[in-house]
Amino acid sequence: MPEFCGIELAHRVVNASGTFDAIAARRVYGDRLLEDFPFSAFVSKTITLEPRVGNPPQRIWETPAGMINSIGLPNKGLDGFLREDLPLLGELPVPLIVSVMATGHDDFKRMVAALDERGEVAALELNVSCPNVHSGLIVGEQPTETVALLEALRPLTRKPLIVKLTPNVADPAAVAVAAAEGGADAVSLINTIKAGAIDPATGKPGIGVGQGGLSGPAVRAIAVAQVRAVAAAVELPIVGMGGISSGADAAEMLAAGATLVAVGTESFRDPRAGNRVAAELSKRSERSP
Amino acid sequence: MNAPFGRRACEVTDSHASGGYRVFSLSDPEGPAPEPGQFYMLATESHWEGRDGRPFLPRALSVADATPAPRSRFGSHSEPNLYGDGVRLDFLVEGIGPGTDRLCELEVGERVWVNGPLGNGFSMPRELSENAAGAILVGGGIGIAPLALLRRRLSARGVPFRILLGFRDAAHSGGLGDLFPGCQMSLASDDGHVGHHGYVTDLLNAMLEGDDARSAAVYACGPPPMLDAVQALCASHDVPCELAMESPMACGFGACYGCAVPRPDGEGYIRLCVDGPVVRGA
């Protein structure tokens, strides 16, 4: 059984945050979802301190071998999540990782402290692809901001802290080193890559807010390179993701230095992609010593 | 009944041109039979990602008809939802991009990845209003598809209904003979090639001005301006309505949050895949 930050997992395939809503999926597919849960741990959609309605449409745009999204983190806010969603996510048959984002240390601290008290939560993923309202800088783009955030949060919980790295920087490994210095237990990468499209029918951006993030097989080679660079720079376990849609893709990411892989966009095409990638991966490892 | 978890490969059993659109049929041995208004996410098993890497995502199509598959040991075709397995699904598609173009090329015997049935279907008139004894179905263009299965359901339940369908021109009038065989209906066309020369909402307005229409519920599917007009007419005549809406969709099961449309009753957005595609008119 693979182990990740002290958590035992049934296999090496988890979901990318924001690409699988286990509560909605259970309403659609019923308890078959629980019997055949696609992931060995479940990563929640990012929550923020206050509720958010998300971005105006259009939120998605298909691209060659991928898609652009700009969803805008719609969520119920911390209180709504704790009250309504966490009890349901606690019923999942796998460990729960909660993704959190805030625009300042105080909000981040309130969320981490509140989630630290909940037994349903196995680990926290910090979504740092957001500006710090005090400095105006995107936390995850700056090693100094990243280390400062981790140093603020680390004393608040013993649960594993996973830092979700953005690919939209010249040197993601430098940010990973900063996360390690600040006391992170793991890093996950890549988040989506800044991208845009023009609607040929209107001549205007295909995404309502103008641009979004690219995901899918189109980004996989970039993800492999960044995971490899980060693995060379830090000792931390890595959750590798970006366009993984098969066992072969997962094996490539593990060979690049990942401990776990996450399936994201492929779940939109195949809701059981997580199970399938895990099965294909296990078949591969049986074949090779 | 819940959809089977995951996608399954279903064989194409028929595909033919119909007035500028295509009608194709899939054999879905796992079922369950869909409710009128529900949809499926569809992608061909082979040659989905074409030369330029598109289509990539599956496409959401409302189911136009569903009948127990020939292998079914059940005799009645009136209420396919009663049977747990083995259903033939009919879809109406217009090629307007790489995904729908590929679905228009389907050949008998090839296989299509199917995820569904998904989303919320139509309610019965009595569920919308105690006074609603009958139904008025209002369809525009490709939007006539989900109304075909609704018509079958209403018929099976003995609910009286009237059908109003509108088309831009002859090239956008596909599916009529296939999906509404032998049905009494009133037609409208923008170019006057058939029926009333004008909008289908003209027909609805005339009907709602009539005596007995107050006891009806209206069900509509079509282009957004048509749905807006239907909703306004129903509101002004105090008649309940349900609208089957459309939005770009990546997953169809609530995962991607991509299919957001403004919440009909206030601020924020709903996910059309799990909170729709049928929504109650304001």
Do the beta carbons of residue B67 and residue B45 sit within 8 Å? no
Instruction: Establish if B59 touches chain A: CB-CB under 8 angstroms.
Output: no
Task: Give how far A207 is from chain B: nearest CA, Å.
Answer: 11
pLDDT of the residue at B212 = 67
Minimum Cα–Cα distance from A272: chain B residue: B6
Q: Could B257 and A74 be called an inter-chain contact, meaning their C-beta atoms sit closer than 8 Å?
A: yes
Q: What is the DSSP string of A126-155?
A: EE--SB-TTT-SBGGG-HHHHHHHHHHHGG
Task: Give how far A241 is from chain B: nearest CA, Å.
Answer: 17
For residues B197 and B218, give the distance between their C-alpha atoms in angstroms, rounded to a whole number: 22
pLDDT of the residue at B109 = 96
Q: HEC string of A175-220?
A: HHHHHHHHCCCEEEECCCEEECCECCCCCCECCCCCCEEEECHHHH
Q: Could A29 and B54 be called an inter-chain contact, meaning their C-beta atoms sit closer than 8 Å?
A: no
Q: What are phi and psi of B138, to 5 degrees?
A: -125, 115
For residues B99 and B50, give the distance between their C-alpha atoms in angstroms, rounded to a whole number: 10
Q: How many CB pairs under 8 A join A and B?
A: 124
Instruction: Establish if A59 touches chain B: CB-CB under 8 angstroms.
Output: yes
Rg over alpha carbons for chain B, rounded to the nearest Å, is 18
Residue where the block lists tokens 């369809």: B139
For residues A198 and A211, give the distance between their C-alpha atoms in angstroms, rounded to a whole number: 10
Percent of chain B with pLDDT over 70: 93
Strand partners, A126: A100, A163
pLDDT of the residue at B81 = 43
**Local structure of residue A63 (DSSP, 8 states):** E
Q: What is the pLDDT of residues B219-257, one digit of tens each?
A: 999 999 999 999 999 999 999 999 999 999 999 999 999
Rg over alpha carbons for chain A, rounded to the nearest Å, is 18
The shortest CB-CB distance from B255 to any of A24, A61, A65 is to A24
**Residue A5 is a catalytic residue:** no
Helix (H, G, I), strand (E, B) or coil at B10: strand
User: β-strand A186-189 against A161-164: which pairing, if any?
Assistant: parallel
Confidence of residue B70 (pLDDT cuts 50, 70, 90): low
Q: Could B255 and A21 be called an inter-chain contact, meaning their C-beta atoms sit closer than 8 Å?
A: yes
Do the beta carbons of residue A82 and residue A49 sit within 8 Å? no
CB atoms within 10 A of CB B4: 19
Minimum Cα–Cα distance from A30: chain B residue: B2
* Dihedral-angle region of residue A56 (phi above 0 means left; psi in -120 to 50 means alpha; beta otherwise): beta
Do the beta carbons of residue A264 and residue A241 sit within 8 Å? yes
Confidence of residue A289 (pLDDT cuts 50, 70, 90): low
Instruction: Establish if B224 touches chain A: CB-CB under 8 angstroms.
Output: no
Cut 0.90: pTM above it: yes
Q: What is the pLDDT of residues A24-77, one digit of tens each?
A: 999 999 999 999 999 999 999 999 999 999 999 999 999 999 999 999 999 999
Confidence of residue B85 (pLDDT cuts 50, 70, 90): low
Q: What is the pLDDT of residues B104-126, one digit of tens each?
A: 999 999 999 999 999 999 999 99
Nearest to B178 by CA among B38, B61, B18: B18
For residues B116 and B273, give the distance between their C-alpha atoms in angstroms, rounded to a whole number: 11
Q: Could A71 and B54 be called an inter-chain contact, meaning their C-beta atoms sit closer than 8 Å?
A: no
**Cα→Cα distances A156→A78, A90, A109, A275, B239, Å:** 17, 22, 7, 34, 57
**Cα→Cα distances B76→A90, A120, B72, B81, B181, Å:** 44, 49, 10, 11, 18
Asked whether the predicted pLDDT for residue A140 surpasses 60, the reply is yes
Q: Which residues of B touch A24 (CB under 8 A)?
A: 253-255, 271, 274
Q: What is the pLDDT of residues A180-212, one digit of tens each?
A: 999 999 999 999 999 999 999 999 999 999 999
Q: Which residues of B touch A56 (CB under 8 A)?
A: 260, 269
Q: Which residues of A touch B259 (CB under 8 A)?
A: 59-60
Strand partners, B65: B90
Tokens of A28: 């659609």
Q: How far apart, in Å, do the first and last CA atoms of chain B sit?
A: 28
Residue where the block lists tokens 């805030």: A102
**Local structure of residue A42 (DSSP, 8 states):** E
CB atoms within 10 A of CB B183: 15
Q: Could A21 and B269 be called an inter-chain contact, meaning their C-beta atoms sit closer than 8 Å?
A: no
Q: What are phi and psi of B197, to 5 degrees?
A: -85, 95
For residues A244 and A248, give the distance between their C-alpha atoms in angstroms, rounded to a whole number: 9
Instruction: Establish if B8 touches chain A: CB-CB under 8 angstroms.
Output: no
Asked whether the predicted pLDDT for residue B76 surpasses 60, the reply is no
Residue to test with chain B: of A269, A272, A276, most B Cβ within 10 A: A269
Do the beta carbons of residue A261 and residue A269 sit within 8 Å? no
| DSSP H helices in chain A | 22-29, 32-35, 77-80, 86-89, 105-116, 143-153, 172-182, 220-233, 247-255, 266-269, 273-287
pLDDT of the residue at B86 = 85
Strand order in the sheet with B21-28: B59-62, B39-44, B111-118, B8-18, B21-28, B87-93, B65-68
Residue to test with chain A: of B1, B7, B35, B56, most A Cβ within 10 A: B56
The shortest CB-CB distance from A25 to any of B52, B253, B269 is to B253
